[in-house]
Structure 1
Amino acid sequence: MAFPAALHDHSACIHAALDAAEAECRRRGARLTDIRRIVLELVWESHRPVGAYALLESLGRLGRSAAPPTVYRALDFLLAHGLIHRVASRNGFIGCPHPGHAHGGQILLCAQCGMAAELDDPALDREIALSAARLGFSVSHQTIEVEGLCPTCRAQAGDTA
């Protein structure tokens, strides 16, 4: 997932993410229930990390009464099935554009506008695993969060580096 371009069709982006999630759940024999689907759609509403309580508020605006455990259970399901990523530094979640594809979590975060993009670099995954192995460590999960400026914010700042 790259940072969205100026003419980004966000409704198509959400539709594609939900279709991919449905396909991945079918492949795994899992159920993307209504509440799970709605929470996933809310996560995909922007390309910024969204927290559980913001999701709860959004559900309320949609007329869906839900308690925090309901949202957390939905998020746990979405995480377990690789449909979202947790962004620890923002205490939030972003949609995964590669469900069903084993990959490390490498997330680029714009310090100015808050946008996030997933970087899927297998060479980086391999290097981390090799470096860890040299120390006798076995990597079971990784998430790397990198903060900087997205292309739009760089352009606005006149940064051409």
Structure 2
Amino acid sequence: GNPAPPTVYRALDFLLDQGLVHKLESLHAYIGCSHPDHPHASQFLICSECGDVSEIENSEIVNSLRQAQENSGFKAKRPVVELLGSCAQCQSENAQEE
């Protein structure tokens, strides 16, 4: 039969700890890491129309967030940025429909 939910969540936690997947809080979902070869803070561009997700690494965003944490005394548990919007393809399709 199907694996029990606790087994699946343990497997996901293991993959998360190993840096092989990321948890997308806004989607309540997990996505494979496109840069598993090195530790990094991730930023995600999430299309709210088609559901496409792109993982990016932008050091300027990371440095800005690090500076904001230092200035405020805040410590992030998981420094992940999720941007919701429309991907280039959906924008193009929407422009053609207008």
Q: The TM-score by the shorter chain falls in which range?
A: 0.7 to 0.9
Query: Given the alignment, which residue of 121, 129, 134 partners 2:66?
Result: 129
More strand by share: 2
1:102 aligns with 2:39: yes
> What one-letter code is carried by the residue in structure 1 that aligns with 2:9?
Y
**Match of 1:156, SS?**
helix
Are residues 1:111 and 2:48 paired?
yes
TM-score by length of 2: 0.88
Are 2:75 and 1:141 equivalent residues in the alignment?
no
- Who is 1:5 aligned against? none
Give the CA deviation at 1:122. 1.2
In 2, Cα distance between equivalents of 1:117 and 1:98 = 12
Runs of 5+ unmatched residues, structure 2: none
Per-residue CA deviations over 1:26-69 (Å, capped at 9, x if unaligned) read xxxxxxxxxxxxxxxxxxxxxxxxxxxxxxxxxxxxxx631111
Secondary structure at 2:82 match in 1: strand
For 1:126 and 1:105, how far apart are their aligned partners in 2? 12
Residues 66-123 of structure 1: CA deviation (Å, up to 9, x unaligned): 1111111110011000001001111101110101312112111101011111121111
**Where does residue 87 of structure 1 map in the other structure?**
24
Runs of 5+ consecutive residues of structure 1 not aligned to the other structure? 1-63
Give, in whole Å, the separation in 2 of the partners of 1:129 and 1:100: 22
When residues 119 and 67 of structure 1 are mapped into structure 2, their CA distance, relative to the original with a 3 A threshold, is same
Aligned equivalents of 1:140 and 1:66: distance in 2? 29
Report the alpha carbon displacement of residue 138 of structure 1 after superposing the two structures with TM: 3.8
SS of alignment partner, residue 54 of structure 2: strand
Going by fraction, where is helix more abundant, 1 or 2? Answer: 1
Question: Over aligned residues, Cα RMSD in angstroms?
Answer: 1.6
Aligned residues: 96
Note if 1:72 corresponds to 2:9: yes
After TM superposition, the score normalised by the length of structure 1 is 0.55
% same residue: 38
